[in-house]
A = this chain, B = another copy of it.
Amino acid sequence: MKNIVVQKFGGTSVASSEKIKNVAQVILKEKSKGNSVVVIVSAMGHTTDQLLKLADEVNTSPSPRELDMLLSTGECVSASLLAMALQAEGYKAVSMNAMQAQIITEKAYNCARIIDIKTDNILKHINNDEIVIITGFQGITSDNEITTLGRGGSDTSAVAVAAALNAQRCDIYTDVEGVYTTDPRIVPNATRLDEISYDEMLELARVGANVMHPRSVETAKQYNIPLRVRSSFKTDNLGTLILGVEDMEIRRTVTGVAADLSQLRIVVCDVPDVPGNAGRLFDRLAKDDISVDMIIQSYARKHTNTNDIAFTIDKKDLTKVQSIIEEIKQELGCSNILVDDNIAKISIVGAGMIDHPGIAAMMFKTLAANDINIKMISTSEIKISCLVDEKYAKDAVKELHSAFNLGCDEIAEVKGTLPE
């Protein structure tokens, strides 16, 4: 049996009939290497937005089920058009929706998780030498209800199909040329990385390098599927290969720098230092589905026997927090709760960091040398994050990028949407 390569094309790659024809050529290039090709496709360009607008016109809070029925049509359109474009070139191709491809999900509308892919039907078409085009972003429940996978859905479909088919690799075609050491719009000589490990990519994704949604990277890591992020338009460029750290050729100490402006900091002041208070606080937040990222608890002040607890949350959860602030104050007996939304989280990421002491020190020194005050610090095995004033975000990224020698001689060309 031939090797199977899974290719995923996002909405901008199939935004028009011309672009769909271009994608057909990209697919045929892979096919010509003697591989079986399975393609996962998103909805064309702004289709999803247009459908959401229609929904809003008839119902401002449509039921999740009907929303999935509606949105799932977008990928069916692009998948069938792509199959037609391949047939126009004289190749056998077949489009499959989630029901036909048997992408089984749990029964959770708008954000379903894939629980199984029954590959019989897909394999039947592959064995018939057909190029198989599968609708991304959607699934089907065991009782034939249509679901969608939520954010990062099409990438997740691609990785899950690649895993189910035991594919050689999964190519994510997008409108950027790969993963960079940092945002090339901030640092023009940012370097495109040839390789990056799953964990590094996950950390970069979480701190704002939104090339790929963490969910799909996690799935790829789980099944050890090599992912290649590359441009649909500049196909000579091999992009960035995301793979297991054990498969990497070189392990860079620091792989990338990223800024995340999506968080805000909350400081709970003068919390009585009695056992269980911190637990009560974060329990209450979890109850309202508020995710907390960085957490710092100060040493208890001797004379008052209180401490401060600071943490960061996503800006979108601010109203949720505000509605329970009074309740928390009463429950903890604290004096005040402050909100600071002019913050940026600056992170350096690198799989080799753990073997190189002094990386953290270098980061703190670089920031200090540029008069950038650090408000909070958190670390993982492959990441160090510092909270700084929002106004210093760009400078911090530039200086750290330079301090860790991440730049290349060329100036990176930026296309499409990169992280803010």
Chain A contacts to B: CB under 8 angstroms: 17-18, 20-21, 24, 51, 54-55, 57-60, 62-63, 65-67, 69-70, 72-73, 76-77, 79-85, 87-88, 94-95, 97, 99-100, 121, 144-146
Flag if B100 contacts A84 (CB, 8 Å). no
Closest to A77 in B: B73
Identical copies in the complex: 2
Knowing A54-B17, A57-B17, say if A62 contacts B84 (CB, 8 Å): yes
Q: Could you say which residues of chain B place their CB within 8 Å of the CB of A24?
A: 58
What are 30 A-B pairs at a CB distance below 8 A? A17-B54, A17-B58, A20-B58, A21-B58, A24-B58, A55-B81, A58-B81, A58-B82, A58-B84, A58-B85, A59-B85, A59-B87, A60-B88, A62-B87, A62-B88, A65-B94, A66-B80, A66-B84, A66-B87, A66-B94, A67-B80, A69-B76, A69-B79, A69-B80, A69-B97, A70-B77, A70-B84, A99-B144, A100-B145, A121-B144
Q: Could you say which residues of chain B place their CB within 8 Å of the CB of A84?
A: 55, 58-59, 62-63, 66-67, 70
Q: Taking A65-B94, A66-B80, A69-B95 as given, write out 14 further A-B residue pairs in contact, using a Cβ cutoff of 8 Å, ordered by the A residue number.
A: A18-B57, A20-B58, A24-B58, A58-B81, A58-B84, A59-B85, A66-B95, A67-B84, A69-B79, A69-B97, A73-B73, A97-B146, A99-B144, A121-B144
Q: Could you say which residues of chain B place their CB within 8 Å of the CB of A88?
A: 58-60, 62
Max count, chain B CB within 10 A of own CB: residue among A55, A66, A72, A77: A66
Q: Could you say which residues of chain B place their CB within 8 Å of the CB of A60?
A: 88
The smallest beta-carbon distance between A416 and chain B, in angstroms, is 23
Q: Could you say which residues of chain B place their CB within 8 Å of the CB of A59?
A: 84-85, 87-88
Complex: A60 Cα to B85 Cα, angstroms: 10
Closest to A72 in B: B76
Q: Could you say which residues of chain B place their CB within 8 Å of the CB of A18?
A: 57
Complex: A121 Cα to B144 Cα, angstroms: 10
Complex: A82 Cα to B72 Cα, angstroms: 16
Complex: A95 Cα to B58 Cα, angstroms: 15
Q: Could you say which residues of chain B place their CB within 8 Å of the CB of A66?
A: 80, 83-84, 87, 94-95
Max count, chain B CB within 10 A of own CB: residue among A76, A79, A81: A81
The smallest beta-carbon distance between A88 and chain B, in angstroms, is 4
Flag if B63 contacts A87 (CB, 8 Å). yes
The smallest beta-carbon distance between A40 and chain B, in angstroms, is 16
Closest to A65 in B: B94
Knowing A59-B87, A144-B100, say if A51 contacts B77 (CB, 8 Å): yes
The smallest beta-carbon distance between A137 and chain B, in angstroms, is 14
Q: Could you say which residues of chain B place their CB within 8 Å of the CB of A83?
A: 63, 66, 69
Flag if B70 contacts A81 (CB, 8 Å). yes
Q: Could you say which residues of chain B place their CB within 8 Å of the CB of A85?
A: 58-59
Closest to A63 in B: B87
Closest to A71 in B: B80
Closest to A18 in B: B57
Complex: A273 Cα to B195 Cα, angstroms: 85
Q: Could you say which residues of chain B place their CB within 8 Å of the CB of A17?
A: 54, 57-58
